[in-house]
Structure 1
């Protein structure tokens, strides 16, 4: 019995890449997921080191106060303050570039990477997107986000699961295609991206249609007619490929259509 169908999911890297390509259609290189800052971004690396040092200092202070917290009210109050300070530092650290990636990138490329990470993780926070871990269970974003040992590797499409949440520490990460395509529809660019192929333009347009009308039951033929009118040069075969990857399962079911 099939328990997980990979054909219905995008690896996290695919979602990362397509988000970047949509946000930066002319500048996206495709290597951003693996970028490490070049010397141009040395100031950001220095900031990361400084924030890491501050975070470690707060953690040491927190450990030192644990024994006192049960008997000294002021220690408990300070512990509460430290938790807030740690959360703030972790938030800063999350978006700063790391130096352990495999490709050196200039500041502009690193900025593109940071922008995509922010877009995706804000979507996870708002529950517009969810990460499934090999079909086993979903990332519990609000609960895991603040844990020190939770991490996402977009380049490898993996998630490091916080200790105590699973017997696995690292798991393959996916996003449902229908969910991803609907979300990607917000980045439809249209006439200001004339360098896109008819198929690529059709894919973005159809994703936007899905996002606007996810519960509708349109006919594939109606959309084929519209698409060929909007995107000269689009072939039936190309449209069929777009439909297969972008249209949600509900749109493909037989039966009366809206």
Structure 2
């Protein structure tokens, strides 16, 4: 694929210029582990922990990590409401865009996304991709210790989204991804209403609709060892209905364009 960016390399080998946004809610045990691994894997990146007033004290843990970081690479945002993963990411994106980071990364706090594989996403951005998704379902992608029920739901959701939207992304629900700042500036983040995991589909769909390129790189997705998943029935229902609506809107827009 031809790069959209003649001078595509925006990060150095240590990830300088990238911000990793990590939303948290009751992740006090996982957070120090994942942040430590992340800074060891990519010494130049910065981290923004977005904590939704975790009652277990995750926010305090994040503040201590930031205070102990001599390189000032760790930052903390405290939100007073818990209104979904998407809203937490949007707050983190706005913070990063205001501070001129070239690339903004999404990463879970529970260890399911390996920091040691972040370089795969950043290398693809440097190679010219606009949005890079760490994919479980491309050659080389793996699932470790994931319950069969969750795997079935995930694969079913991705198949449904591909068919409904006509998108060719294999893992459009994935939450390990890296955006060039230009993408986040142009896809209308102020209009995003998705709060749960549907947020991932929403942003990927907007990225495609605006003519940006998406590339998938293989990752190993590992089920959390500490804590509980935040997935519930309401998240699934939101995703199903929104994807159907976006698919219909996209097809109607295509029909209207064909009649002009």
Q: TM-score interval w.r.t. the shorter chain?
A: under 0.3
What TM-score, normalized to structure 1?
0.26
**Hey, which of these two has a bigger chunk of helix by percent?**
1
**Hey, which of these two has a bigger chunk of strand by percent?**
2
What TM-score, normalized to structure 2?
0.26
